[in-house]
Amino acid sequence: MVARNRDITKRMNYFDRQFLRAQDFVDEQDYHLDRRCRHNRLLHTYGIAEGLIVTASPEPGEEKMVLVSPGTAYDPQGSEIILTVTPPATARKVDLSEVEVDPGPPISYSSPLYLTIAYGEKNSDPSTDSGIEGFTRIQEKPQLKPSAEEPLDPNELLLAVIERDTSSGNVTEVDTNPLGRRQAEELPPNSIGPAELRDGAVQSRHIALAESGTDQDTTTGTGVKTDHLKDGAVTDSKLADEAVSTRSIQDGAVNNTKIADNTINLSKFDTETQRKIGVEGWVRLPFLPHSLFNTNEFIRDSVESRSDMDGAGGLIPIPVPAGISQVTGFRIAGPELQSQLLFVLFRLSAGQESTPAEALILDGIIQPSTDPTVVMFDEILFPLDEVIIDEMNDTLSLGVLAFGISRINFIAVQFE
């Protein structure tokens, strides 16, 4: 008698004049069967690979039968379960008339039934040679099993849940895609990690669209849920421009703990939002200064400040918007300038009592036009390279000194 699976680390080695016995051929088969099962088990996932669709029989007199279409499945051991039919049949019939029946009286039939398929094999084709006993084939025959109990053995793959009339036993409904029917292409939990994915391997077309609603249960539904993402997993390099829109973010989902320092800057907002925030760009003010020590005061009204032949001096604070880090430009304008204008833009830092104000623009001078018909002026200057502002501690102040007649109504500072 031959033995099975004796040592699958050895494979047959053939040579001329070798005498072969039945055990040699069995060992040959067992070696290759083992390797194929290992491949199926370790490099693929078990479940229904194709076919094996269950339907109620439409034929009169077969109301207690279901039909199973041909197909292929793999069990957790890697065994190949192949269900075939002999033409002209197109499906395998499963008779449920004697399954889970209480003879009564009255007679009753259990419902629902769970139909499973499992790997099976049996000896086949007895030898016809005289004086020899044995089978010339082993037939791989799937085991179709209907039961009132849900399958617990993972080697029994669920195909369908069958409802039937408890009085007559007739099949009333077949769910051929029930919860628990496992597809071979589905991956077991936690089977894919960073090491299994190359850059760009997962594209939009590979991810199922999320169902509607806000349910974050990762065991049901489709799409990416909150618990699929660990803190810090989604970085700038992982997101295409405009990949995240308002409809993609649940109300209240983004809070302080989800935002790293300095990750949100003005470039992340559209132009209209930037304008509304008013952080980067020009801060514009009417020129209505305070008096400057030891100088004449500007004459102020609601729209401008002016000086006469004796000149005037004034000081005006410049508000520093939140979120800025640099001063890059300055602008001053008015309806009249007939004399030289000197201005100084200062930076003052809080908490540094002994440090004098730092002049950012020293001896900034604007000369009146040489054309006597031109009295208006509008000067824009950009001399402030790398002037860094500490938004928590720094303030700005503008000092202006007119040496004669002037009318000034507008100043501005550019921030980034």
Average pLDDT, stretch 245-268? Answer: 71
Kindly state whether residue 271 falls inside one of the protein's structural domains.
no
Q: What is the pLDDT of residue 234?
A: 77
Contacting residues for 135 by C-beta, under 8 A, at least 6 apart: 123, 124, 125, 126, 127
Kindly state whether residue 11 falls inside one of the protein's structural domains.
no
Last residue of a domain, one of 175, 191, 207: 175
**Do 49 and 167 lie in a common domain?**
yes
Kindly state whether residue 263 falls inside one of the protein's structural domains.
no
Q: Of the candidates 367, 323, 313, 371, which has an alpha carbon nearest to the alpha carbon of residue 344? A: 313
Sign of CA dihedral 294, 300, 306, 308: negative
Sign of CA dihedral 254, 255, 259, 265: positive
The predicted-structure confidence for 292-326, as pLDDT tens digits, reads as follows 888 999 999 988 999 999 999 999 998 888 777 78
Last residue of a domain, one of 122, 146, 175: 175
Return the H-helix or E-strand segment holding 388: strand 387-388
Give the amino acid at 264: I
355's tokens: 């440090």
Range of the domain at 143: 44-175
- Total domains in the chain come to 2
Kindly state whether residue 393 falls inside one of the protein's structural domains.
yes
Kindly state whether residue 376 falls inside one of the protein's structural domains.
yes
The predicted-structure confidence for 98-152, as pLDDT tens digits, reads as follows 999 999 899 999 999 999 999 999 999 999 998 888 999 999 999 999 999 999 9
Q: What is the pLDDT of residue 189?
A: 63
Kindly state whether residue 190 falls inside one of the protein's structural domains.
no
How far is Cα 362 from Cα 67, in angstroms, rounded to an integer? 94
Burial 213-223 (b: 16+ CB within 10 A, else e): eeeeeeeeeee
Average pLDDT, stretch 382-404? Answer: 80
Kindly state whether residue 328 falls inside one of the protein's structural domains.
yes
Burial 256-286 (b: 16+ CB within 10 A, else e): eeeeeeeeeeeeeeeeeeeeeeebbbebeee
Quick check: 343 pLDDT over 90? no
Kindly state whether residue 161 falls inside one of the protein's structural domains.
yes
How far is Cα 184 from Cα 340, in angstroms, rounded to an integer? 86
Q: What is the pLDDT of residue 251?
A: 73
**Do 404 and 285 lie in a common domain?**
yes
Residue 18 has what DSSP assignment? P
Last residue of a domain, one of 116, 142, 175: 175
The predicted-structure confidence for 344-382, as pLDDT tens digits, reads as follows 888 887 766 545 566 676 568 888 888 878 888 888 776
How far is Cα 117 from Cα 159, in angstroms, rounded to an integer? 7
CATH number at residue 325: 2.60.120
Q: How confident is the model at residue 233 (pLDDT cuts 50, 70, 90)?
A: confident
pTM of the model: 0.49
The predicted-structure confidence for 4-28, as pLDDT tens digits, reads as follows 767 788 899 999 999 999 999 999 9
DSSP 197-230: --TT-S-GGGSPPPPSS----TTSSSS--GGGS-
- In the three-class reduction of DSSP (H, G, I as helix; E, B as strand; rest coil), residue 237 is classed as helix
Give the amino acid at 171: V
